[in-house]
Every structure is written in structure tokens, then in C-alpha cells.
Amino acid sequence: MAHPVQHEDALIRRAAQGDAAAFDCLVEQFTPRVYALAYRMIGNAEDAQDIAQEAFVRVYHALPRYKGEAAFSTWLYRIVTNVCYDELKRRRRRPAPFTDMESDDGDSRVETLAGGESPEEAALRLERQRAVQAAIATLPEHFRLVLVLYDLQGCSYQEIADILKQNVGTVKSRLNRARNLLREKLQDQRELFPAGGSPTS
């Protein structure tokens, strides 16, 4: 018999007390969002998996110190963001080959195929996704993160401000600049996007 879905707060309390099953439930609930954030920041499916695993290891060790001052998702995203930055720093010291930005495997983990599409529509949508992901990967990291969190992860301005420990005005300014930079980088592929449409919509 299946157990009812546990309330998130109860799972967090139990996991913080060492309940492995509760922690596994949290991992299951948040893995898609954690992986998506890592993939969109890093652009490599295998590295995104490693980042997600490392983030949850850090979460496991830090949970007993989590006091609920911020929402759990905000606290979690802050940890994931730190792991992403650690990986980007390692890449700067040891540049990695740009291998699977256009991997179907990576795309399929981030976006599911929409129902009712023709093969041509599905191919165009995937081409747009790849173009956007490749352009996002070229943005400066602080612009990239704000764009990913707001436009792709659905975080609010306040949530992003809490994750980054910045004020809301700074978040809005960075998001506007990130969007403008993204549009500039996609100019050569503007035929992929409807007039006036947002590349990340």
C-alpha cells in the first residue's frame, strides 16, 4: 500500500533528525529542479548529474543546521548555486571541452516533449532550446544565474534576492541586462523565434 505524500515541512524535520527515508523523499521531490538548474548553468548533462549529487550530499550534512529562516527551496537553490560556481571555477583552472551542450540526453532531462506536436514542430522547438541553452552558456555567470532562476526556474524576484543575498533592485537590473545580452547573442538565429517573443518563453 502506497504511503500518502508527506508534507514538505515534516519531511525536512525528519530528514534533519537523520531519517534516511524522509531525506530520500526530499531528494526525489527536488531532483528535477536541482538537475535543471545545474544543467542550465553548466550546459553539460553528466556534470549536471554530478552537481546534483554533490548538492544533495551538502544538503544532507547541512540539514541539522537548517533553521527555516528561508524557504527550503531557497536554501536548497543557494547550495546548488554554490556547487555550480565551484564547478565553473574548476573549469576556469582546467578548461573542459565543450562536448554535450547540444546533447539530446541533456535536453530531454530539462524539457519533456509536448503532446500533439508534429515532427517538424518538435524539431523546431528542440532547435530553439539548444540555441537558447548555448547562448545562455556564454553569458557572464551572475547574469546567467538570474536569467535561469527567473525565466526558466520560475523563482520570484524576492526568492532570487534571498538565494543570492542581493537586493531586489539588483536582481531586476541583472535580469534586464541578461535578457538584453541573450537577445543580442541570438540575433543571428532570430528566424527561430517569433517576432516579439522571449527566447526563454
Q: Are residues 5 and 87 in the same domain?
A: yes
Q: Which of 87, 104, 121 is the last residue of a domain?
A: 104
Which residues in the chain land under pLDDT 50? Answer: 1-6, 96-113
The CA distance from 135 to 124, in Å, is: 16
Amino acid symbol at 34: V
Q: Are residues 79 and 173 in the same domain?
A: no
- Give the model's pLDDT for residue 92: 78
Q: Are residues 94 and 18 in the same domain?
A: yes
Q: Are residues 125 and 199 in the same domain?
A: yes
Query: What is the DSSP code string of 44-55?
Result: -HHHHHHHHHHH
Residues 139/180, Cβ–Cβ less than 8 Å:
no
In this prediction the pTM is 0.76
- Give the model's pLDDT for residue 115: 58
- Give the model's pLDDT for residue 43: 86
Q: pLDDT tens across 24-55, in order?
A: 999 999 999 999 999 999 988 999 999 999 99
Q: Are residues 116 and 91 in the same domain?
A: no
Of 24, 31, 33, the C-alpha closest to 3 is 24
Q: Which of 58, 76, 104 is the last residue of a domain?
A: 104
- Give the model's pLDDT for residue 94: 66
- Give the model's pLDDT for residue 69: 82
- Give the model's pLDDT for residue 195: 59
Residues 37/149, Cβ–Cβ less than 8 Å:
yes
Q: Are residues 57 and 25 in the same domain?
A: yes
Using the CB atoms, write b or e for 157-191: b if 16+ within 10 Å. bebbbbbbeeeeeebeebbebbbebbeebbeebee
- Domain coverage including residue 135: 111-201
- Give the model's pLDDT for residue 102: 42
Q: Are residues 28 and 87 in the same domain?
A: yes
Residues 23/63, Cβ–Cβ less than 8 Å:
yes
Q: Which of 85, 104, 123 is the last residue of a domain?
A: 104
The CA distance from 44 to 59, in Å, is: 22
Domain count, the chain: 2
